[in-house]
Chain A
């Protein structure tokens, strides 16, 4: 019974490159959430997706960041033209549904921009 899977676990990108982070939710979960954790900070909500739909992207920067959760395959968080300030841990969580409240987190992807 696998939990939330994220890959890669560590990602190094040079400034200006693109970063793609993947998240496979727990079996039976169709709701996915992305959070960002800056050093010494708590997690900050970025976006909430269901299959093929973005439900709430109020926490996502307006430029360079996008997210998708296609009908088949993992959810993808894409960061274009990365900058040093994008260096952070990006966590994906999934749930059975938003009304339940409980979100189960993956191990995170640690992005380092050099």
Chain B
């Protein structure tokens, strides 16, 4: 099965609300990254968190990492309609940093 799996598969919220997406993985990692993909477009790198970090912030994004549970969460605060996209977590395999494995993503819809 997937190294990284996002949950939920789809999330629909109102503008201004917070959105939380989760990612679980199976093997040890060096880094975990979150990406956003707008429909039919490429991926935009959001944030990278290293295995020795527990939390990281970037603007309205907050990422946590729990290596004991092999899970991560992405929180988007004060969501906007422009945040509507698919969100993917990507993990390496703990050996190399470059071979990223992506889950199927969480489709976030922010309603105006």
Do A and B pair up? The answer is: yes
Interface residues of A (CB under 8 A from B): 4, 6, 31, 33, 35, 40-45, 48, 56, 58-59, 91, 95, 98-108, 110
Which of A58, A103, A106 is within 8 Å of B100, CB to CB? A103
Compute the total of residue contacts between A and B using a CB distance below 8 Å.
69
* A-B contact sample (9 more), CB < 8 A, given A40-B104, A103-B45: A4-B42, A42-B88, A45-B100, A56-B96, A98-B97, A101-B92, A101-B97, A104-B45, A110-B40
Tally of B interface residues using CB under 8 Å: 27
Q: Which of A4, A31, A43, A101 neighbours the largest number of chain B CB atoms within 10 Å of its CB?
A: A101
Interface residues of B (CB under 8 A from A): 2, 4, 30-31, 33, 35, 40-45, 48, 50, 88, 90, 92, 96-105
Which of A59, A91, A105 is within 8 Å of B45, CB to CB? A105
